[in-house]
A and B are shown apart, each in its own frame.
Chain A
Amino acid sequence: MQLPDNNGHFGEYGGRYISETLMPAVIELEQFYKKIRNDKEFIKEFNYYLKNYVGRPSPLYFAKRLSDIYKSDIFLKREDLNHTGAHKINNTIGQALLAVKMGKRRIIAETGAGQHGVATATVCALFNLECEVFMGKKDVERQKQNVFRMELLGAKVNPVESGSQTLKDAMNEALRDWITNIKTTYYMIGTVAGPHPYPLIVRDFQSVIGKEVLKQLKKLPDILIACVGGGSNAIGLFYPFFKYPQVKMYGVEAGGCGIETGMHAASISGGAPGVLHGNKTYLLQDEFGRIADAHSIAAGLDYPGIGPEHSYFADKKRIIFASVTDDEAVWAFQKLCRLEGIIPALESSHAVAYLEKIKKEIKGKTVVINLSGRGDKDMHTISEYLSSNTNKKL
């Protein structure tokens, strides 16, 4: 079966739940992308920038000390070593090339932690495009450094004051801007969510991660682990492996203060199917269908939804979803610093933390963790957390 189908559905999920004003633009994008998707020149150009600008392939690093502790072979896919410090740039390079080919010179984007915003601002500088980024006011405050980076790169950052002032509200505001400026503007979505064809486009551009792992490992891994907010780094790693049923996949959601507290961002572990931001998928919501606020120490996971392809594979149990809490993520963050000399992003720390939950299962196995980003942006958050939770310091 082809996923998504021609209408952008992954089983019952995905689709295009958007206002009529946007429909023609999204259909235009779909048709344009269909034509260019397998175009040799386009792929060549994309690969050129991945190699020479992003610095791909990213290393698949054998984490020896970590492996010794868990008595398994643990490899880290070093997306943190990409230009701009995370996997996000893979997608923005691809979409920027797409926008240029479509003749759109104004780019808008939403961002949570600021990683996608920085990656967008970066490619806009590279390709000489006008760039406006929408970012929840709360995120602007907790990710000041990324705001400054975006501004240095020439982007305009618009703090969003509506709703919970986080990623979902930034996406609402980006959609409002897009409705208004549809003729001139390309909306660069940062994750595998939104109306069709975005989940497909972002998956295509991110699946370079898993393709490289296949080549670098020279054998099939037993287990893949990735953190999941919207789920672009996870799909990027998992997608090329879906056809190998023997490869087990874990999607680690942000458990925040614990699923039972209601303060988390785990759409699959603690949500229900619904419709938001153009697609049908698992969402955090109340009994009346209103979207609930998400919580995670990792701003990049702080979103009440998840990409529709994840929802589909969650139901099919092809991807096993689980969650780790803020505390567990911070523990793993520190552990990786000390053991491997790698400072991971708080988002990626969730994936590392999950090792502890499956330590029996992974003994003697080959495990690949997507280290989706580096932790430089999180210094402030971590130092605040550790100074108010001194007992959590390693």
Chain B
Amino acid sequence: MSKENKIDTVFNRLKTENKTAFIPFISIGDPDIDTSLEIAKTLIKNGADIIELGFPFSDPMADGKVIQKSYERALKRKISMEDAFSFIKKLKAYRDIPVILFTYYNPVFVLGEKFAEGAKNAGIDGILVVDLPPEESAELTRSIQDKNIYQIYLIAPTTGNERMKRILSYAKGFVYYVSVTGVTGARKGLPETIKSKVKEIKEISSIPVGVGFGISSKEQARDIGKCADAVIIGSKIIQFIEDDINDKPAIIRRIAEFSFDIKSNL
């Protein structure tokens, strides 16, 4: 028997506490492997409930400038999926919170069966493949289904009700609602439709809903936390790396403060 997936454990606990999960996103290897490990630990220390780790890809079509640049910094050194797995093992040894690997499909596809085996050994709890809709997911689903790894699906503002129902029937752990029609990146204003869309999802399924893309402030986080079960923030955190690229202590300090501030508002 497989034990409960840790993503479920976290959402179950937060539900009883009536709290919203904070899911920060960073890229593995930005600005380098050691510093990104330190950043991940800092996020965990300062309130991350689940952590989403991006595997740097050469052609990040769904990402805005900030994450593109983050991947470019990380790719200056060759990072293999093996490196990502060993990174996750180290992080899990520090604290065993749920880890979601965020990736484009090609690096997963070229590894074939080896991917699922490696992901399991690394302790990955979920995988989000941004360019792999349910229609093309059969191969990946098959390879991870007996490994207690969840595939996290996306729902977008453009997703209609029928399609939403179908996606929700496959969803496990939580469903990721993409809050804006666009690429990743911090935005000052977020669309009004978020609340109604989250409500629409919740009418169909009891699965937790995480909202991401564009969230950058504690006010936005608090507001979205009222309707969603998780708030996902990436570009805003990565911006701290870009801003203080030559001052690592400053990066760590600013990310710690930001993270703590967000979690206190959820």
Contacts and interface: CB of A to CB of B under 8 A. Distances in A.
A287 to B, nearest CB: 8
Contacts of B167: 20
A231 to B, nearest CB: 19
Interface core residue of B72, B136, B154, B155 (most chain A CB under 10 Å): B136
A310 interface: no
A180 B181 contact: yes
B12 interface: no
Interface residues of A, number: 39
A172 B156 CA distance: 19
Nearest to A176: B183
Interface string B74-116: 0100111100000000000000000000001111111100000
A390 interface: no
A175 B108 CA distance: 21
Given A288-B110, A289-B108, A291-B58, A17 B80 contact: no
B61 interface: yes
A288 B136 contact: no
B131 interface: yes
B135 interface: yes
Residue of A22, A176, A275, A289 with most partner-chain B CB within 10 A: A289
Contacts of B36: none
Given A179-B181, A179-B183, A275-B105, A289 B155 contact: no
A364 interface: no
Interface residues of B, number: 43
A183 interface: yes
A184 to B, nearest CB: 11
A276 B59 contact: yes
A216 interface: no
A162 to B, nearest CB: 6
A17 B135 CA distance: 9
Contact of A23 (B62, B104, B133, B181): B133
A136 interface: no
A78 interface: no
B78 A179 contact: no
Contacts of B136: 15-17
B266 to A, nearest CB: 25
Contacts, number: 121
A103 interface: no
A21 B57 contact: no
Interface stretch (B16-24, B141-149, B158-166, B217-225): B158-166
A280 B157 CA distance: 26
Interface in B6-53: none
A273 B78 CA distance: 21
Given A20-B133, A24-B159, A275 B61 contact: no
Contacts of A23: 133, 135, 156, 158-159, 163
B158 A24 contact: yes
Nearest to A288: B80
Contact of A175 (B61, B104, B111, B156): B61
A176 B106 contact: no
A274 B58 CA distance: 13
A182 B135 contact: no
A289 B178 contact: no
A69 to B, nearest CB: 43
Interface string A50-77: 0000000000000000000000000000
Contact of A288 (B72, B78, B182): B78
A179 B158 CA distance: 10
**Which residue of A274, A283, A290 has the most chain B CB atoms within 10 A of its CB atom?**
A290
Interface in A272-320: 272-278, 280, 283, 285-291
A204 to B, nearest CB: 22
A7 interface: yes
Given A16-B135, A17-B132, A172-B61, A179 B182 contact: yes
A21 B109 contact: no
Interface in A1-51: 7, 15-25
Contacts of A7: 135
Contacts of B259: none
Contact of B158 (A25, A280, A285): A25
B130 interface: yes
A289 B59 contact: no
Q: Which of B61, B68, B157, B158 has the most CB of A within 10 A?
A: B61
A176 to B, nearest CB: 5
Contacts of A17: 105, 131-133, 136
A17 B157 CA distance: 18
Nearest to B103: A289
A275 B106 contact: yes
B64 interface: yes
A169 B68 CA distance: 12
Contacts of A19: 61-62, 130-131, 133, 154, 156, 178
Given A19-B154, A20-B159, 14 more contacts: A19-B178, A20-B153, A21-B62, A21-B156, A21-B158, A21-B181, A23-B159, A179-B183, A274-B110, A276-B106, A288-B78, A288-B81, A288-B107, A289-B109
30 contacts: A15-B135, A16-B133, A16-B135, A16-B136, A18-B131, A19-B131, A19-B178, A20-B155, A20-B156, A25-B158, A163-B58, A176-B61, A179-B62, A180-B181, A183-B158, A272-B110, A273-B109, A275-B104, A275-B105, A276-B59, A276-B106, A285-B106, A287-B80, A288-B81, A288-B107, A289-B108, A289-B109, A290-B57, A290-B58, A291-B59
Interface of A: 7, 15-25, 162-163, 168-169, 172, 175-176, 179-180, 182-183, 272-278, 280, 283, 285-291
- Closest 4 A/B residue pairs (Cβ): A289-B107, A289-B110, A21-B156, A180-B182
